[in-house]
Amino acid sequence: EAGVTQSPTHLIKTRGQQATLRCSPISGHTSVYWYQQALGLGLQFLLWYDEGEERNRGNFPPRFSGRQFPNYSSELNVNALELEDSALYLCASIPGRSSYNEQFFGPGTRLTVL
């Protein structure tokens, strides 16, 4: 069974540009989570999508947005990039909304903002 996949592996952008990160969950999983792992800030919850809808978001500005497609894959968009957006962005999926379901993580996309 294929795991969570993310693309691209690395992404280099300059300040002010937009970045698009993609995530494909495990087959049969309907919920997708996005986390940011920035140096010195640890892992922080960004967004949660379930059944195509944004269900919850963390303490991030509106320029962090995304969507979930009918096949449950997801995109994370970061507009007006700032230097501090440089981080590893991790996507995770679970089969449903139950809180005891473990989250399965992808390998991440490393975003570098110059």
Partner 1 sequence: AQSVTQLGSHVSVSEGALVLLRCNYSSSVPPYLFWYVQYPNQGLQLLLKYTTGATLVKGINGFEAEFKKSETSFHLTKPSAHMSDAAEYFCAVSDLKAAGNKLTFGGGTRVLVKP
Query: Please, are residues 5 and 23 in contact by the beta-carbon 8 Å criterion?
Result: yes
Determine the number of helices (DSSP H) and then strands (DSSP E) in the chain.
Answer: 0, 11
CA–CA distance, 53 with 44 (Å, rounded to integer): 20
Q: Which of 76, 90, 111, 113 is close enough to bind partner 1 by CB under 8 A?
A: 90
Task: Tell me which residues in 19-48 interact with partner 1 (CB under 8 A).
Answer: 31, 33, 35, 42-45, 48
Three-class SS state of 110: strand
4 in contact with partner 1 (CB under 8 A): yes
Closer by beta carbon to partner 1, 14 or else 27? 27
41: its two tokens = 């800030």
Q: Which of 56, 77, 80, 114 is close enough to bind partner 1 by CB under 8 A?
A: 56
Q: φ, ψ for residue 88 (rounded to 5)? A: -95, 125
Per CB under 8 A, which region of 11-19, 70-78, 79-87, 92-100 contacts partner 1? 92-100
107 in contact with partner 1 (CB under 8 A): yes
Beta bridge partners of 50: 31, 53
Report the interface residues with partner 1, using CB under 8 A.
4, 31, 33, 35, 42-45, 48, 50, 55-56, 58, 90, 92, 94, 97-108
